[in-house]
Amino acid sequence: MHRYKCTINHYKEQIMIKHIVLFKLKETISAETKAEVAAQFKKAIEALPPVIKTIRNIRVAQNINAEEKWDICLDSDFDSLEDVKAYAIHPAHLAAASILKEYKQDRACVDYEY
C-alpha cells in the first residue's frame, strides 16, 4: 500500500520510512578489530538490496568520532513499517546481522515517517 502526503506546494510525495540503527561495540575490542568488524558488516548489509527487494536505500558507516558512544550507524529507507519488519526477519539480513553478534554491546533504533 502506498501512502501519500501533501507538501506545501500541494505536490504529492510517497511517505517513506527511515530506519536508523546505531551499534555500540564492546569496549574490550581493539580499534583495529572494530574497524574490521564494521567493514565486514557494511559489506554484508549493503549487499542486501538485490536479495531483499523492499530495501529502497541502505548504507552503513563507522563513526569517525571516537568520543561518541555509538560505533556504527545503519541508515536505510523502506516504503512501510511492514517492509522494515519483513527485512528484520529475512534470513539474509539475519546472516548479515550475525557478524556483530559477539562484538555488540548495545543497539538503538529509530523508525520514522518522512
Question: 25: domain range?
Answer: 16-113
Q: Answer whether 22's CB lies under 8 Å from 76's CB.
A: no
User: What is the CATH number for 40?
Assistant: 3.30.70.100
Convert 29-67 to b/e letters by CB count within 10 Å (16 or more is b): beeeebeebbeebbebbeebeeebeebeebebebbeeee
Q: Would you say residue 9 lies in a domain?
A: no
Q: Distance of CA 7 to CAs 1, 11, 21, 68, 113, Å?
A: 19, 6, 27, 35, 14
Q: Would you say residue 1 lies in a domain?
A: no
Q: How far apart are the C-alpha atoms of 80 and 1, rounded to whole Å?
A: 8
Quick: pLDDT tens for 82-94.
999 999 999 999 9
Work out how many domains the chain is built from and give that number: 1
Q: Would you say residue 102 lies in a domain?
A: yes
Quick: pLDDT tens for 35-54.
999 999 999 999 999 999 99
**pLDDT value of residue 11:** 55
Q: Would you say residue 8 lies in a domain?
A: no
Q: Would you say residue 88 lies in a domain?
A: yes
Which residues have C-beta within 8 Å of that of residue 60, sequence separation ≥ 6? Answer: 38, 41, 42, 45, 46, 72, 73, 74, 75
